[in-house]
A = this chain, B = another copy of it.
Amino acid sequence: MSPLKAKSNHVTIVDVATTSGFSPSTVSIVLNEAPLSRYVAAKTKERIRKAAKDLGYRPDAFARSLRNRRSHTVGVLIFDISDPFCTLILQGIERCLDSTAYLPIIMDAHNEKKQFEGYLEMLMERRVEGLIVVANWLFEEGGLLLNLRRNNLPTVVVGRDLSTDLISSVVVDNVAGGYTAMEHLYSLGHRKIAVIRGPEKLGDSNLRWQGIQQFAAEHNYQLDPRRVRLLPEALDPTSGFEGGVAATEDLLRSAADFTALLAFDDLTALGAIRALILSGRSVPGDCSVIGFDDVPPAAFCTPGLTTIRQPMEEMGRIATGWVLRAVQGPDTEDAILPPMQILSPQLLIRESTSRV
Q: A interface vs B, CB < 8 Å?
A: 1-8, 56, 58-63, 65-66, 69, 71, 81-82, 84, 87-88, 90-91, 94-95, 98, 103, 105-108, 110, 115, 121-122, 124-127, 129, 150, 152-156, 163-168, 238, 241, 267, 270-271, 273-274, 277-278, 296-297, 299-303, 322-323, 325-326, 331, 334-337, 339
**Known contacts A122-B103, A300-B301; A127/B82 CB under 8 A:** no
8 Å CB contact of A6 from B156, B277, B326, B339 = B326
Residue of B nearest to A331 (CB): B5
Q: Is the interface of A mostly helix, strand, loop or mixed?
A: mixed
Once bound together, how far apart are the Cα atoms of A300 and B295, in whole Å?
12
Which residues of B are found within 8 Å of A56, using beta-carbon distances? 150
Asked whether B6 lies within 8 Å of A152 as measured between CB atoms, the reply is: yes
Which residues of B are found within 8 Å of A336, using beta-carbon distances? 2
Which residues of B are found within 8 Å of A4, using beta-carbon distances? 154-156, 168, 322-323, 325-326, 334, 337
Once bound together, how far apart are the Cα atoms of A219 and B184, in whole Å?
54
Asked whether B302 lies within 8 Å of A300 as measured between CB atoms, the reply is: no
Asked whether B3 lies within 8 Å of A166 as measured between CB atoms, the reply is: yes
Which residues of B are found within 8 Å of A82, using beta-carbon distances? 87-88, 91, 296
Asked whether A98 lies within 8 Å of B110 as measured between CB atoms, the reply is: yes
Which residues of B are found within 8 Å of A129, using beta-carbon distances? 6
Asked whether A95 lies within 8 Å of B71 as measured between CB atoms, the reply is: no
Shortest beta-carbon distance, A172 to chain B, in Å? Answer: 19
Once bound together, how far apart are the Cα atoms of A7 and B339, in whole Å?
18
Once bound together, how far apart are the Cα atoms of A59 and B66, in whole Å?
12
Once bound together, how far apart are the Cα atoms of A127 and B156, in whole Å?
29
Once bound together, how far apart are the Cα atoms of A335 and B5, in whole Å?
10
Kindly name the residue among A3, A164, A335 whose own CB sees the greatest number of chain B CB atoms within 10 A: A3
Residue of B nearest to A63 (CB): B66
Shortest beta-carbon distance, A247 to chain B, in Å? Answer: 16
Kindly name the residue among A82, A95, A121, A296 whose own CB sees the greatest number of chain B CB atoms within 10 A: A296
5 CB-based A-B contacts, threshold 8 Å: A4-B168, A58-B124, A81-B81, A105-B105, A301-B301
Which residues of B are found within 8 Å of A326, using beta-carbon distances? 2, 4-6
Residue of B nearest to A125 (CB): B61
8 Å CB contact of A60 from B81, B125, B241 = B125
7 closest cross-chain pairs (CB), A and B: A2-B334, A4-B326, A297-B297, A4-B154, A62-B66, A301-B301, A2-B337
